Copies of this chain bind each other. A is one copy, B any other.
Amino acid sequence: MTETPPRATGEVALVGGGPGAPELLTLAAVTALREADVVLYDRLAPPVLAEFAPQAEHVDVGKRPGHHQLSQSGIEALLITQAQAGRKVVRLKGGDPFVFGRGGEEARACRDAGVTVRVIPGVTSAIAVPAAVGIPLTHREVSRMFTVVSGHAPLTAAELDHLAGLARTGGTLVILMGVLHLAQICQGLAAAGLPPGTPVAIIEQGYSPHQRLLTTTVASIAVTAAEHAVRSPAVIVIGEVVRLADQDPAAAADLHRAADLS
């Protein structure tokens, strides 16, 4: 007597890969990678996949020169067709999938297609990269709120006005993907009343061997960024908490150890 095994049921997991250090993956992310038949990735380096998902097919859907490119709708179609073919699909994203990761769109596309989808949150770079240089986004009697904003496109006057207003009350601002429009954003914040002496930290390539911290002020940021040839990826922090950054290289090295376990 033989039995036909039940047909495998495909599914999609949107997995937060954290800020780049393999040790900052969650246990749930590692489990999902180990069980994956196929992994769609665009930001995390292949060594992570080799370590945690050696059995899976790896598809680079990122937009880098010389690599296979897929539009957002192409990525969503691939997630769906792979899951409908019965495969366990991991969509691996840097940071958290629901923070500027278009994870919301991908989850919706899967559900609209009747594909089971789950979300595995990750450690976001917006919080972890400042922490890597000793900057807490909140600090008693300094800041009791923080705003994370995409600098990918220019901000509107109303947005700049209220961001500057919150910063004046002590709120911390964190800008992701902001290198290109950094001067415009800071000029806009200053024009909206943010004091020019407000401290700014630029943390380039967080959780990599090339991590670099620059501290400056709102008034000087454009000059600082140009002088030091700041490039993406970088996390920008604006507010008094920047003064808590650890400038002691030895102590900073200790703080960075969580990133060095790879």
Q: Is A261 located at the chain interface by the 8 A CB criterion?
A: yes
Which of B16, B138, B140 meets A99, CB within 8 Å?
B138
Could you tell me which residues of chain A, from 119 to 145, have a CB within 8 Å of some CB in chain B?
Answer: 119-124, 127-128, 130-132, 134-140, 144-145
The complex is assembled from copies of this chain, and their number is 2
A145 near B144 (CB under 8 angstroms)? no
| Per-position 1/0 for A12-35, Cβ under 8 A of B | 000010110111111110110000
A138 near B100 (CB under 8 angstroms)? yes
B251 near A111 (CB under 8 angstroms)? yes
Interface majority SS (helix, strand, loop, mixed), chain A: mixed
A sample of 25 inter-chain contacts (CB < 8 A) reads A23-B26, A23-B31, A24-B27, A25-B27, A27-B30, A28-B258, A96-B131, A98-B137, A104-B139, A104-B241, A107-B134, A118-B255, A118-B257, A119-B132, A144-B149, A144-B150, A145-B150, A146-B148, A147-B166, A147-B171, A148-B148, A149-B171, A159-B166, A162-B165, A163-B166
